[in-house]
Amino acid sequence: MRGESDHYFSGVIDGDRSDVTSLGIAIIEARGDVKLAEIQIQGLEQARKLAVGSVSESDLRSAKIKRETAMEKLNLLSAIAKTTYELAKNELDADLAEAEQVQKLAERGYVSKAEVDQRLRRARATQGKLEIMQAIIGK
């Protein structure tokens, strides 16, 4: 409900580690927003039971809309995280295969060691992104 995390997931799928970290933060905030909305609804319903007329129908509907919005946001962010995880997994497989091919070419003298190192660095960066995504989605 804060609206602060709305920009966090832009560019995540193709983004760097900071974008992925921002997505994780946005998911944590969305989970918190769902919990806060639940608590607000429970409090309003409890207050309504204790003192009839103390809570308006409008206040209760508003709290339920906040919960629904928070849940939709969490679902969207979670879907983005799962997609990003799968893409990172595929990217890592491709990076490792490419590094292996370049390594074979280097052994034959067709490419430089620097070329191999570059491919390995890219694979390590992708591995780091994958590890962050695993933590975010709980795999």
Q: What is the pLDDT of residues 122-139, one digit of tens each?
A: 999 999 889 989 999 986
Q: What percent of the chain stands above pLDDT 90?
A: 71
Range of the domain at 18: 4-137
CB count, 10 Å around CB of 135? 12
Q: How much of the chain, in percent, has pLDDT values that exceed 70?
A: 87
Per-residue pLDDT at 129: 87
Least confident of 54-58, 67-71, 86-90: 54-58
Structure-derived torsion over alpha carbons of residues 78, 81, 85, 91, reported in degrees to the nearest 10: 150
Q: With a cut of 60, say whether residue 52 has pLDDT above it.
A: yes
pLDDT of residue 87: 92
- Cα-Cα-Cα-Cα dihedral sign, residues 95, 25, 7, 40: positive
The dihedral sign for the CA sequence 52, 53, 59, 60: positive
What value does the mean pLDDT take over residues 62-70? Answer: 97
Number of folded domains that form the chain? 1
DSSP string for 54-116 = SS-HHHHHHHHHHHHHHHHHHHHHHHHHHHHHHHHHHHHHHHHHHHHHHHHHHHTTSS-HHHH
pLDDT at position 32: 97
pLDDT score, position 3: 45
Calculate the average pLDDT of the chain.
87
